[in-house]
Structure 1
Amino acid sequence: MANTFQAQVLTPDGSLFEGEVTGVRVPGVQGNFMMLHNHAPIVSTLGVGAVVITKPDNSEIVYAVSGGFVEMNDNSMTLLAEKAEEASEIDKEEAEMLLKEAKGLLSDTVGDRSKAEKEVAIAKNRLKLAD
């Protein structure tokens, strides 16, 4: 059997994934990184991007995430996402509409620009992963 470790993906709405995996790639705020069996202990902040979970049968599950934290210790990984959804469940038309709305927020000079920029990044990530 391949070298595996326990992984779980949690959101405020509940658990999205729990099981044995061979690897997990996450969008750290300083760049993407991969965790494998016997990875050194780490706690990292997540940015907007894709979490790619590789299962022992080499199949992958991809989640669109918009921030959070990940901890890896003693071959156990816990990912706490602000928001996450499985890429295969993203509605492309809805993602396009949300991107258009988020871009509209950027043109509103009265609003919070950094929040609007994050919403655009989230919408672009969802649209990219919906393909």
Structure 2
Amino acid sequence: MAEPMTLTIITPDAVVYNGFANFFVGRAVDGEFGILPNHAPMIIALDMAPLRVDSPDSTSHTFAIFGGFVEIEHNQVSIVTPNCELSSDIDIDRASRAKQRAEERLSKRTPDIDIERAEHALARSLLRLKVTKQI
């Protein structure tokens, strides 16, 4: 088996993950992708979606990734994202309430409601619920 790649997930606030990976799968703006060790150099624009990382110790970690970029070069992978949350760190009740609020705003469609902001809030809450396997 190939040597695992080094994977680092970086947000403006912290290094969320820094370790080895045998495989990771996520969604780019143009579709899903999977990366194995020794992949050719590449830069990928990320969509807001789950990211699964399979570690050499046979554990998997699922993250909510809120956009950003992946850079792959010489078995080193860097993911730079505005926000990233490990599934076990997500507050399910809070995400459910955010989903409900966003759906209520979108159903009313009054002139004082920022539709784009409500749609984005709904997408964020749905992503959080998806990575925690609530939907």
Residue aligning to 1:15: 15
Counterparts of 1:112 and 1:40, CA distance in 2: 42
1:1-131, aligned counterparts within 5 Å?
A: 2-106=2-106, 107-131=109-133
Contact 2:2–2:37 under 8 Å retained in 1: no
Do the aligned partners of residues 120 and 4 (structure 1) sit closer, same or farther apart at CA in structure 2, a change above 3 Å counting?
same
Contact 1:7–1:78 under 8 Å retained in 2: yes
Measured on the aligned residues, the alpha-carbon RMSD in Å equals 1.7
Counterparts of 2:118 and 2:94, CA distance in 1: 18
Write the letter of the residue equivalent to 1:18.
N
Counterparts of 2:71 and 2:16, CA distance in 1: 16
Instruction: Name the SS for the 2:49 alignment partner.
Output: strand
| Structure exhibiting the larger radius of gyration computed from Cα positions | 2
Shift of 1:41: 1.2
Give the gaps of 5 or more residues in structure 1.
none
Give the gaps of 5 or more residues in structure 2.
none
Counterparts of 1:66 and 1:108, CA distance in 2: 28
Do the aligned partners of residues 101 and 41 (structure 1) sit closer, same or farther apart at CA in structure 2, a change above 3 Å counting?
same
Write the letter of the residue equivalent to 2:20.
E
Higher share of residues assigned strand: 1
Shift of 1:45: 1.1
Instruction: Name the SS for the 2:61 alignment partner.
Output: strand
User: How many aligned residue pairs are there?
Assistant: 131
Q: How high is the sequence identity, in percent, across the aligned residues?
A: 29
Write the letter of the residue equivalent to 2:128.
R
Instruction: Name the SS for the 1:125 alignment partner.
Output: helix
